[in-house]
Structure 1
Amino acid sequence: MDLLLILTYTAICITIFKVFRIPLNKWSVPTAILGGVVLVGTLILLMNYNHPFTAIGGQVYTTTPVMPTVRGKVISVDVKPNQEVEAGTPLFHIDPTPFIAKVTQAKAALAEASQDVLELEATYKAAQSNTVQATADRDRTKREYERYNQGFKKGAFTEQQVDTRHQSYLAAEAALEASRASEQQAKLAYTAEIDGENTGVASLKAALDQAQFNLDETVVRAPTKGFVTHVALRPGMMAVPLPLAPVMTFVHTEEHHYIAAFRQNSLQRLKAGYEAEFVFRAVPGKVFEGKVIEVLPAIAEGQIQATGKLYGTEALQTTGRVMVKLKITDDMSDYHIPLGTNAEVAVFSDHFEHVSIMRKVLIRMESWKNFLYLDH
């Protein structure tokens, strides 16, 4: 662009010198050169600051590493690479045989526990009956002891007979206490609850839920709408729930944005809503319209983390760029642009708008330059 401006200014100067017959001397030529330096330099500086450009940009997208939550042998891979699927579509199946067995075992244990609850109820009711019977025996022996004791005072019974009845009464009292303890123990076993449910049953229901969850997880499904690329998983392989060993990478189908890194010099001319233009090396000769979504509020080079060492001067000597999030507003359906494609971006602020024509000319020149390359 600077060369274009210099050549244009030179042509204008030559025309002026010829039309107005200005003599070439030590005053006119240096004046024209100095004027050109000031004029061209001012225009370029105004353009660079108010309408920034960067060649460091590209599309970013989010992926999710796919890994199972249960361990098992893969029996089928249902997804095809690079074909879009809906959320919940099966991606691959793990052999469910051991997990079906776990569910069956948990159901059997739950049924047995439910039967045990009925037995605990019967035991509790039997203990209640025993307590009633022991209470009646205690009351009967007590009345008999009191009758013999009164008869002894009148001389009707001997001391031995009274003592025998007293011992029977004490034995009945002890039996009643034992029966009450057994009843309380049976009651605790029968009425022990968590959230209104018997503890044993609740525990086995939780085990059944876990077993059913593991069985359901043998079918690994798409988390959202998207596609899987580079499918290397095959039946017979072992799928292991390790975060460091995903078996697939899922690419989400969503609104994709572009990130461009601008010099910090132009930070005050980067704001949400400003118009932008994009140039792709993949689409030579074409410029796409867009706009700024936001300026990211942090520069990565300035981050620090808690460690066992102090940060020195070198931590501040890095010069990071400002990350700007943008999107293209033009229709891109006619162009094949894979995710992650690089782009060159220019942003047009609302300052010195008349100078923006220079940036627009320049970015179009950059676009046409993409036709020119050599393979080494």
Structure 2
Amino acid sequence: MDLLLILSYASVCIAIFKIFNIPLTKWTVPTAVLGGVIIVGALIILMNYNHPYTAHGRQIYTSVPIMPVVRGKVIEVPVQANQLLKQGDVLFKLDPEPFQAVVDQRRAELAAAEQLVPQLLAQFNSAQAATNAAKAERDRSQKVYQRYAEGRRKGGANSPFSDLEVENRQQAYLSAEARLQVAQANESNARMAYESQIDGVNTTVASLLGQLDKALFDLEQTVVRAPTDGYVTQLGLRVGMVAVPMPLRPVMTFIPKEQSLFVGAFWENSINRLKEGDPAEFIVDAKPGMVFKGKVRQVLPAIAEGEFQANGRLLGAEVFFKHSRSLVLIDPEPRFDEFNFPMGVSGQVAIYTEHFHHLSVMRKVLLRMQGWLNYIFPFH
């Protein structure tokens, strides 16, 4: 861009010398050169500061690594590479038989557990009846023992009840009391087994319901679908491969269909006056001679060259030798998407601020001249 400005000034000087027949002397040539240094230098400084330009621009996009949630053998890949898909379209299918077998097993276990609930109720009712019977027996034995003990106490030597009979009745009463305690313990166990519930559902049944839901979820995951509208590119998945849910080994890459976003990498000293909403223009190598418009969305608040993470390694001095650039996000005009460029095309970007706005005309002319140069491949 700066070279174009210098060449333009040189062309103007040559034209002036030719048109007005100005002789080439030791005064005229140095004057033209010195004037060029001052004029071109001032224009470059003012434009770079108020209307920055970068030759490092690129359309960016997000890719989604696709991997199955469950492990299985691929039995079908109906998707075609580089064709637009709708959200929910099938990308590939895994063999569902092992997962269907687990679902059938969980359903059988759940049915058995549901049938067990009435049995627990019957056991609880039986335990209650046994407790009531043991309590009645205990009460009867207690009354008999008390009658024998009272008769022995009041009758003394003339009592019709002997000490042995009283002792036997006492032992019968204590035995009945022990049987009642056993029956109450059995009733308590039966009650806890029957009344053990979560949200009104038996705990065993609830546990098996959860396992069945998990098995059904795994079965559903054997069909992998498109997360959004978009397309799959560089498709290498084939029938017979084993797909494994490993984050580091996706089986395909999905490109969502989203609003285009262009990014320019600017020198740090040229972003001082940039702000959200500033008009921008950019050219792409894929369409020589055409200029696209846009607006600044954001100047990214972080620069990657200054990043470090807690990983047990010290930050070396070599990172300070790299000259960093600041990234500026630009929303292109809708017309940009009409050309169906390959995602990630490169180009050059110019941004126009409200300061020294009259110089933006020159920046626009230079950007269009750069776009015309895209017809010449050696310039890239």
1:113 maps to what in 2? 113
Aligned partner letter, 2:341: I
2:268 maps to what in 1? 264
Cα gap change, 1:237/1:308 in structure 2, threshold over 3 Å: closer, same or farther? closer
Q: Distance in 2 between matches of 1:32 and 1:258?
A: 40
1:348 maps to what in 2? 352
Aligned partner letter, 1:269: R
Match of 2:363 among 356, 359, 362: 359
Q: How does 1:308-323 map to 2 (within 5 A)?
A: 308-323=312-327
Contact kept in structure 2, 1:229 and 1:249, CA below 8 Å: yes
Cα gap change, 1:29/1:201 in structure 2, threshold over 3 Å: closer, same or farther? closer
Aligned partner letter, 2:68: P
Asked if 1:194 corresponds to 2:165, the answer is: no
Q: Distance in 1 between matches of 2:93 and 2:29?
A: 82
1:42 maps to what in 2? 42
Asked if 1:245 corresponds to 2:249, the answer is: yes
1:369 maps to what in 2? 373
C-alpha deviations, 1:269-312, integer Å up to 9, x for none?
Answer: 32221111111111111111112111101110011111334334
SS at match of 1:160: helix
SS at match of 1:332: helix
SS at match of 1:83: coil
Q: Distance in 2 between matches of 1:333 and 1:265?
A: 31
Q: How does 1:297-308 map to 2 (within 5 A)?
A: 297-308=301-312
Shift of 1:35: 3.2
Shift of 1:375: 12
Q: How does 1:59-138 map to 2 (within 5 A)?
A: 59-138=59-138
Cα gap change, 1:334/1:144 in structure 2, threshold over 3 Å: closer, same or farther? closer
SS at match of 1:269: coil
C-alpha deviations, 1:168-190, integer Å up to 9, x for none?
Answer: 11100111111111111111111
C-alpha deviations, 1:164-215, integer Å up to 9, x for none?
Answer: 1111111001111111111111111111223332221111111101101001
Q: Distance in 1 between matches of 2:226 and 2:25?
A: 78
What runs of 5+ residues in structure 1 fail to find an aligned partner? none
Q: Distance in 2 between matches of 1:59 and 1:326?
A: 9
TM-score (norm 1): 0.93
Shift of 1:374: 5.3
C-alpha deviations, 1:210-254, integer Å up to 9, x for none?
Answer: 101001111111111111112222222211111122111111011
Q: Distance in 1 between matches of 2:378 and 2:35?
A: 39
Contact kept in structure 1, 2:260 and 2:337, CA below 8 Å: no
Greater shift, 169-178 or 358-367, is seen at 358-367
1:56 maps to what in 2? 56
2:141 maps to what in 1? 141
C-alpha deviations, 1:56-91, integer Å up to 9, x for none?
Answer: 111111111111111111111121111212211111
Cα gap change, 1:318/1:332 in structure 2, threshold over 3 Å: closer, same or farther? closer
Q: Distance in 1 between matches of 2:262 and 2:44?
A: 26
Cα gap change, 1:284/1:25 in structure 2, threshold over 3 Å: closer, same or farther? closer
Cα gap change, 1:26/1:91 in structure 2, threshold over 3 Å: closer, same or farther? closer
Shift of 1:30: 4.6
Cα gap change, 1:230/1:36 in structure 2, threshold over 3 Å: closer, same or farther? closer
Match of 2:300 among 293, 296, 300: 296
Asked if 1:287 corresponds to 2:266, the answer is: no
Q: Distance in 2 between matches of 1:133 and 1:69?
A: 58
Contact kept in structure 2, 1:296 and 1:324, CA below 8 Å: yes
Greater shift, 131-140 or 308-317, is seen at 308-317
Aligned partner letter, 2:136: A
Shift of 1:316: 2.7
Shift of 1:49: 2.1
Contact kept in structure 2, 1:289 and 1:328, CA below 8 Å: yes
Cα gap change, 1:4/1:196 in structure 2, threshold over 3 Å: closer, same or farther? same
Shift of 1:14: 5.9
The aligned length equals 372
Cα gap change, 1:307/1:235 in structure 2, threshold over 3 Å: closer, same or farther? closer
Contact kept in structure 2, 1:13 and 1:32, CA below 8 Å: no
Aligned partner letter, 1:295: V
Greater shift, 305-314 or 205-214, is seen at 305-314
Shift of 1:12: 3.7
2:225 maps to what in 1? 221
Contact kept in structure 1, 2:286 and 2:341, CA below 8 Å: yes
What runs of 5+ residues in structure 2 fail to find an aligned partner? none
Q: Distance in 1 between matches of 2:34 and 2:63?
A: 56
Q: Distance in 1 between matches of 2:29 and 2:101?
A: 96
Match of 1:174 among 173, 178, 203: 178
Q: Name the % identity.
A: 49
